[in-house]
Chain A
Amino acid sequence: MSSQIESHDDVNDGKTPVRTGDADGLPETREHDPFADPGLPAHKPRIQDLDERAAKRSERVVTLLFTVSMLATVGFILSYALIPIDAITYIWPFGNVSPLNFSLGMTLGLALFCIGAGAVHWSRTLMSDEESAQERHPIEATPAVKAAVMEDFRKGTEESGIGFGRRKMIRNSMFGALALVPLSGIVLLRDLGPSPEGGAPLRRTMWEEGTLIINENTGQPLRPEDMVVGSLVQAMPEGLDLHDHHFHEEIAKAAVMLVRLEPEDIKDQQSADWGHEGILCYSKICTHIGCPATLYEQQTHHALCPCHQSTFDLSDGARVLFGPAGHALPQLRITVNEDGYLAAMGDFEEPPGPSFWERG
């Protein structure tokens, strides 16, 4: 077995290689060349072409398929009319499914499939299967056509004066007008939304000094004694209601989670100071793209984001341990007010949520 390229008689200079076989299959070389194209093989008949009974059988199969399709459509209509929409039935092996959905889908599927199967079987067994060849023609125009087109083009440009000195001003001003007119469309897009004001709305949230921390489950303000070590509470600022017009915009920035750790487990002193007796309140909006990073493991104090696995160490100022997040979750400074409820001591010191250009 040779592994070097030899000069083959069917390969010329590399830049314009020539195909073998079909290249100028001159009759006299065909005898010499063992790899010459033997040409389209003679058509061999199918059993249906020879045996009329086989052809009849195919015909019956095709008719049967089309008939099954008709019956399936009837079945579809009957299912639609008869099966209640809220029924649930166990159908092996799919489970407790809607019999309406199942039978509509199966009958529709069958009706369609049988039409297709019938048509294909018909074409495969009863229509001619003799292959024929059609010539391809080069796509490139002949030099004569090309010359004629160039001449026409030249004539056209000359008549309009576009390519020549005479009407330069028209041409240039037309290009200018065409270039400018789409600007109107772009300008119109300006009012798609308000100005970002250098990111100002992304920096402020509803948290202010004294804002009570509301437990999302109970809708009530939270007391420190409600939380035991190892517990997790999803919370929002006081004054925000699910029915508010701007609920989604506000909660998208202000959502927090509270965890309670043994105070000696907290590694970061500032973080401990910003909490209350081991209760820490963090923004739960991931700093990567903004998913709630609330997969809290109470033994390791890790909070994981389910979207891209950014992992934050809540015992260490929500430092990033793993994943694509670029910085820690902002911590909300909390205290206990005179009524014994947990309350914020102000807004987040840095913007919560995903980074943005002006974040700094």
Chain B
Amino acid sequence: MKKLSVRRRHPLAAFVVLIFALAATGGLYAALAPAGEAKADASETSIAIEEGQKLYAVGCASCHGAGGQGSSDGPTLVGVGAAAVDFQVSTGRMPMQQPGPQAPTKPNIYSEEEIAQLAAYIASLGPGPGVPEASAYDPSEGNAAHGGELFRTNCSQCHNFTGQGGALTHGKYAPNLHDVDPKHIYQAMLTGPQAMPSFPDAVLPPEQKRDIIAWLTAVNTSESPSPGGFGLGGFGPVAEGLFAWTFGIGLLVAVAVWVAAHTAKARKS
């Protein structure tokens, strides 16, 4: 006990503690973070090829196989349709940068034309859902109230009441739908990317998909109203509780300190 207290006063003690703390934090993060993120994939860099198949051969074939038949690193693309390609590539999810629990969105590196070429190539491998018409996902034509009911039946279990996103097992997640292009929402429902199940038209008709988009437009875009004030991310009681424990009680305690503090005394002249 005595020894430690002596060393505690050493000028380097603070640094040692800091390094321990940083190492512990890093170690904790490494332990808790989902595994399998480190390996970089070289296939993402090369671009600029005109035809879909050539694009595919360069950008996609290493995981999905030369003919789209799939491999241990990626599922088959036969029959996924143009809609899936358009969704995955234009949101930047594909090509995947590195293996991990889930492909995140990132800036898209393909032009619209290139994506169309890729989509055409994949669609030629087997029949699948096509890229939807713009009117299919126009939120102004949908019924937000009905969309809300459908959203709560089919979507909110993973994406939260207003599509703020939520956690799934082992580091997977349902992404936040804030300001996501209605086209991509439509395509995601249609094709069921990654962990998400699909909702084909026979199960969720096109006009219902549009209603869902209308609901999301009403509640989760930059323009959506939050009448009660700052929305705290829309995460519900956890965010509200954190706010109460920090800002709320913090402000009240600050006021209490002022009320109880002694008034400054006059300096002796």
Contact = CB atoms under 8 A, between A and B. Distances in A.
B265 A93 contact: no
B228 A227 contact: no
B159 to A, nearest CB: 10
Given A98-B225, A295-B157, A297-B168, 15 more contacts: A45-B265, A95-B231, A101-B227, A101-B228, A124-B263, A216-B153, A217-B203, A217-B204, A223-B202, A226-B203, A227-B202, A230-B192, A231-B203, A232-B154, A304-B169
Contact of A304 (B153, B168, B231): B168
A274 interface: no
- Top-4 shortest CB links A-B: A232-B197, A226-B202, A98-B227, A297-B195
B262 interface: yes
A97 B226 contact: yes
Contacts of A124: 263
A49 B166 contact: no
Chain A interface category by residue count? 35 or more
B263 A129 contact: yes
A51 B231 CA distance: 49
Contacts of B200: 226-228, 231
A226 B203 CA distance: 6
A96 B259 contact: no
A298 B225 contact: no
B169 A302 contact: yes
Interface in A56-112: 88, 93-98, 101-102, 105
Interface of B is mostly: loop
Among A94, A231, A309, the most chain B Cβ lie within 10 Å of the Cβ of A231
Contacts of A1: 2
B104 to A, nearest CB: 16
20 contacts: A46-B263, A95-B226, A95-B229, A96-B223, A97-B225, A98-B227, A101-B229, A129-B262, A216-B153, A217-B203, A226-B203, A227-B202, A231-B203, A234-B153, A295-B166, A297-B168, A297-B197, A299-B195, A306-B157, A311-B169
Interface string A229-254: 01111100000000000000000000
B166 A306 contact: yes
B225 A217 contact: no
Interface in B174-196: 174, 192, 194-196
B25 interface: no
B205 A217 contact: yes
A234 B154 contact: yes
Nearest to A309: B169
A293 to B, nearest CB: 8
Contacts of A230: 192, 197-198
Contacts of B195: 297-300
B263 A231 contact: no
Nearest to B231: A95
A50 interface: yes
B203 A227 contact: yes
Contacts of B1: 3
A37 to B, nearest CB: 20
A176 B239 CA distance: 54
Contacts of A32: none
B263 A125 contact: yes
Interface in B249-269: 258-259, 262-266
B117 interface: no
Contact of A46 (B196, B229, B264): B264
A259 B195 CA distance: 13
A230 to B, nearest CB: 5
Contacts of A44: 265-266
A322 interface: yes
A220 B2 CA distance: 78
Contacts of B63: none
Contacts of A48: 263
Interface string A282-307: 00000000001011111110101010
A195 interface: no
Interface in B120-177: 150, 153-154, 157-158, 166, 168-169, 172, 174
A267 to B, nearest CB: 17
From B154, B174, B205, B224, residue with most partner A Cβ within 10 Å: B154
Interface in B187-246: 192, 194-200, 202-205, 208, 223-231
B192 A217 contact: no
A48 B205 CA distance: 77
A271 interface: no
A231 B197 contact: yes
Contacts of A150: none
A225 interface: yes
